[in-house]
Amino acid sequence: FTEEDDSFLKYEEEDGRTVEPTYFVPVIPTLLLNGSHGIGTGWSTSVPTFHLPHVVDHVRHKLLGTVPAGPLIPHVVGFKGRIEPVLESNTSNTESLQYRSYGIVTRPSSARLVITELPCYVWTDDYKNFLIAMVERGEIKEFKEFHSTDSVRFEILASKAQLDSYEKKGLHTVFKLTSSFSLNNMHAFDRHGKICRFTNTAEIIDAHFEVRYAAYATRKAALERLYA
């Protein structure tokens, strides 16, 4: 957000006072940085977050009329696992609509597992309850927690035979260390305050670009009048 925009933004009025603008015009589409998840009357939305440098790069390509090297891939700040498209795209520039995130699990010894990252959108308390249920069913012996304010660490004890069996099935599968999300439900307000469905991130960038480019034109015209 730049102060130079303040003079030509449309402001709302409340009780006879001028309050906030109807909408701001950030230099990049912040919806793709912050994401959006929620439910309203008749609508819901789920927009994942993306990496700032990648969003800037795509906006720059839009400005120059060139093609980005590849599609935007969802990104979560601080997430140490991996995020991959569920279905391979036909070309490197085609955006997948389904993604899966993977937590991190290692087996440092024959009877111990260490989980140092949960998949995206999985809460620590919810996962703890999942492990408690595994203990109650006899699927693992016990687990311990060694979390910090910005990291997670579960240490799981089980028999060698159990862990050998789980490893064959896939530790991520057995211990539910994956989560899926998609781009199939991306809804947001347009410049007219109407809810729109966006089928891919390029449409969000295009919608933002149209408004931001017009804002630059308005600002330029104002400066030309000022210094004429």
Burial class (CB in 10 A: 0-12, 13-18, 19+), 96: middle
What is the structure's pLDDT at 227? 85
Task: Report the candidate in 107, 137, 101 with the shortest Cα–Cα distance to residue 122.
Answer: 101
What is the structure's pLDDT at 145? 98
Q: Write the CATH number for 151.
A: 3.30.1360.40
Q: How far is CA 52 from CA 46, 56, 73, 138, 202, in A?
A: 18, 6, 11, 44, 15
Apex 91 CA angle, 89 and 96, nearest 5: 30
Burial class (CB in 10 A: 0-12, 13-18, 19+), 186: buried
Task: Report the candidate in 109, 103, 102 with the shortest Cα–Cα distance to residue 164.
Answer: 109
203 domain residue, yes or no:
yes
CA dist 75 and 172 (Å) reads 20
Query: Can you read off the two tokens belonging to residue 59?
Result: 């906006």
83 and 188: one domain?
yes
What is the structure's pLDDT at 70? 86
163 and 189: one domain?
no
What is the structure's pLDDT at 221? 87
What is the structure's pLDDT at 94? 61
CA dist 34 and 49 (Å) reads 6
* Segment 52-90, tens digit of pLDDT: 999 999 999 999 999 998 889 999 999 999 999 987 555
198 and 172: one domain?
no
What is the structure's pLDDT at 1? 77
What is the structure's pLDDT at 88? 56
37 and 78: one domain?
yes
The low-confidence residues of the chain, meaning pLDDT below 70, are 88-94
81 and 190: one domain?
yes
Q: Which residues pair with 46 in a beta bridge?
A: 37
- DSSP letter assigned to residue 50: B
130 and 194: one domain?
no
58 domain residue, yes or no:
yes
Q: Write the CATH number for 56.
A: 3.90.199.10
The total number of structural domains that make up the chain: 2
Task: Report the candidate in 84, 123, 99 with the shortest Cα–Cα distance to residue 47.
Answer: 99
Q: How far is CA 157 from CA 118, 124, 138, in A?
A: 18, 18, 11
User: What is the span of the domain harbouring residue 55?
Assistant: 3-87+184-226
Q: Write down the residue that tokens 């210094």 correspond to.
A: 227
The pTM (predicted TM-score) of the whole model is 0.85
| Torsion over CA: 80, 208, 99, 197 (sign) | positive
Question: Is 114 in a helix, a strand, or coil?
Answer: strand
